[in-house]
Amino acid sequence: MIVKVTVTWGKEVFKNVEVDTAQPPVTFKTQLFSLTGVPPDRQKIMGVKGGLLKDDADWTKLGLKAGQKLMLMGSAEQVPVAPTTAVTFVEDLPEDEQDVEGYSKYGAGIKNAGNTCYMNSSLQCLFRVPELRNALQQYTPAGEVPIMQDGSHKLTVAARNLFAELDRSAAPVLPLAFLTQLRLSFPQFAEMSNTGLYKQQDAEECWTQILYSLRERLQHGQADSPVQKLFGVGLHTRLVCGETGEEIVEDNTSYALKCNISIDINLLHQGIALALKDDREKTSAVLNQLTRFEGTSVITHLPVYLTVQMMRFYYKVDVRQKAKILRKVAFPLLLDCYEFSSPELKKQLDGPRDALLAIEERRAIAKRAGGAAAADKASADKEPAAKSNGNSAAHDTPMPDAEPAAAAAPAAEAGPSASHTGHATGRYDLVAVLTHKGRSADSGHYVAWVKEEDGQWINFDDENIIPVKEADVLALAGGGDWHMANLLLYKQQVVPEEQE
């Protein structure tokens, strides 16, 4: 049962604060933490029967009524900590805070609060996006009550605080405030089983709901939200009715490309191409009835981070749950979206792609030249000193391989790379994979695999942080009961600035 109350905190008044009496009072205190910044353990709430509100109190015995006024006491400021001068050695820290392996630079693990691996893995992948972390860090909304009461605001604040904690902590983090607000904002994640435990949920659904909430709150009056700039894919869809010749054109923004999986799909780009053939049932204005429209979609705008959803789950009527397609679908470390782009977008990409190719050619030539020079030096060091009569062939013999390389260099230098510096190329590097192990979306286990800035891949399995190899990541393509990719996160390649 939801009861709306008024909470006063100093001079501030929060009206219509929702209290879910099916949840313990500590959940309500977590809501107030999102509103005021006062940690639950420092909150004193008065206005209920029996004096102060206790964490384990029974709402039914407190006589809470709609419109009731409650008073919150507590400081949102950090409690001053006495300075310490003593040196603390790693071995003197509690075992769960010791960073013996040196993995704290990659962030912290997230504790499982009971079938919450779907949320933990989503958060770890999104934490990999520094631009999103920066946008959250700068999130300071105006203090108007309607905004402060908004569910997306509360979730954004909880995400901001959680990401900050992940950034500074060496020990695994318990995401209580974020989890509580996620379940309040989206009740489907609070669904419980007959045994009284929270159910496993779909990670893709959690990922999507988090992004949609952040998109609403991080906009700050801008025309486009930072979330849309970072993750939004522009799509142009043309629908044609084969029976009547009717044509419908749609333009929209999606936050993931889909990879459909069928018996003929073995590679990621094949599944994406199949998904872009977007056939639909729509009402024909001519026939005045539902009929099939053949659809084709092309990309009109590419984001900084491209999400690809592997369409592995489908609803199986006989067992009433989301079953899983286990087929192996290989995905690349480098994804090129040029073939999926509209003609207009391809024209925008052509110049930067040529510039990037020219840079790669120059680097390859320089690398070969450097290798040849090193080999020549090593060979020269082994030769006896040149004789005065000039018989040494090492200085006189022409090197035929050098001339083609020298001739190729001017052609590679011809591209106007500087004018395209920082421009998108349509190519993307894999930076994160969210996997699922099990036979159903609503059971099994979700894990995040993240590529860090230094190139090291890390497996975030709830609170556990495990370094893995690139080959381990490529093995997540499916085909058995092992972890297999459910969501792929790619980061765009831009034309780099060349060093003089």
**pLDDT tens column, 260-287:** 999 999 999 999 999 999 888 888 888 8
Q: Which of 236, 301, 445, 483 is catalytic?
A: 445
Q: Helix 130-137 to helix 203-217 angle, to the nearest 10 degrees?
A: 50
HEC per residue, the chain: CEEEEEEEECCEEEEEEEEECCCCHHHHHHHHHHHHCCCHHHCEEECECCECCCCCCCHHHCCCCCCCEEEEECCCCCCCCCCCCCCCCHHHCCHHHCCCCCHHHHCCCECCCCCCHHHHHHHHHHHCCHHHHHHHHCCCCCCCHHHHHCHHHHHHHHHHHHHHHHHHCCCCECCHHHHHHHHHHCHHHHCECCCCCECCCCHHHHHHHHHHHHHHHCCCCCCCCHHHHHHCEEEEEEEEECCCCCEEEEEEEECCEEECCCCCCCEHHHHHHHHCCCCEEEEECCCCEEEEEEEEEEEEECCCEEEEEECCEEEECCCCEEEECCCCCECCCEEECHHHECHHHHHHHHHHHHHHHHHHHHHHHHHHHHHHHHHHHHHHHHCCCCCCCCCCCCCCCCCCCHHHHHHHHHHHHCCCHHHHCCCEEEEEEEEEEEEEECCECCCCEEEEEEECCCCCEEEEECCEEEEECHHHHHHHHCCCCCCEEEEEEEEEEECCCCCC
Contacts of 410 (CB under 8 A, 6+ apart): none
d(CA 100, CA 87): 17
Q: Is 445 a catalytic residue?
A: yes
Contacts of 129 (CB under 8 A, 6+ apart): 230, 305, 489
pLDDT at 318 over 80: no
**pLDDT for residue 324:** 85
Share of the chain above pLDDT 90, in %: 50
Tell me if 125 sits within 8 A of 145, measured CB to CB: no
Q: 330 or 114, which is more confident?
A: 330
Q: How many other C-beta atoms can be found within 10 angstroms of the C-beta atom of residue 45?
A: 22
Length of the chain: 500
pLDDT of residue 374: 64
Q: What are phi and psi of 402, to 5 degrees?
A: -75, -35
pLDDT band at 409; cut points 50, 70, 90:
very low
Q: What is the mean pLDDT of the chain?
A: 84
The whole-number pLDDT of residue 375 equals: 61
CATH fourth-level superfamily of 233-342+424-494: Cysteine proteinases (3.90.70.10)
In the prediction, which pLDDT does 388 show? 45
| CATH 3.10.20.90 describes domain 2-73 | yes
pLDDT value at position 193? 84
pLDDT grade for 22, boundaries at 50, 70 and 90? confident
* Token representation of residue 246: 């009717």
Q: Phi then psi for 190, rounded to 5 degrees? A: -100, 10
Indicate if the pLDDT at residue 23 is higher than 90: no
Lowest mean pLDDT among 62-71, 239-248, 437-446: 437-446
Q: What is the pLDDT of residues 46-90, one digit of tens each?
A: 888 878 888 878 888 888 888 899 989 888 755 444 444 444 444
Percent of the chain with pLDDT over 70: 82
Per the structure block, which two tokens stand in for 465?
A: 């942080």
Q: Which residues pair with 457 in a beta bridge?
A: 451, 468
405 band by pLDDT with thresholds 50, 70 and 90: very low
Using one digit for the tens of pLDDT, what is the confidence trace for 460-500? 999 999 999 999 999 999 988 889 999 999 999 999 987 65
Looking at the chain, the domain(s) classified CATH 3.10.20.90 span 2-73
* More confidently predicted of 421 and 96: 421
Q: In which residue ranges of the chain is CATH 3.90.70.10 found?
A: 108-222, 233-342+424-494
C-alpha to C-alpha distance for 475 and 483, rounded to whole angstroms = 9
pLDDT digits (tens, 9 = 90+) for 123-149: 999 999 999 999 999 998 765 545 556
The pair phi, psi for residue 485, each rounded to 5°, is: -60, 135
Q: Of the residues 117, 125, 259, 337, which is catalytic?
A: 117
Look at 18-22, 205-209, 325-329, 445-449 and tell me which has the smallest mean pLDDT. 18-22
State yes or no: pLDDT of 407 exceeds 50.
no
Q: What is the pTM of this model?
A: 0.73
Identify the CATH number of the domain defined by range 108-222: 3.90.70.10
pLDDT at position 380 is 62
Whether residue 394 is predicted with pLDDT greater than 50 in this model: the reply is no
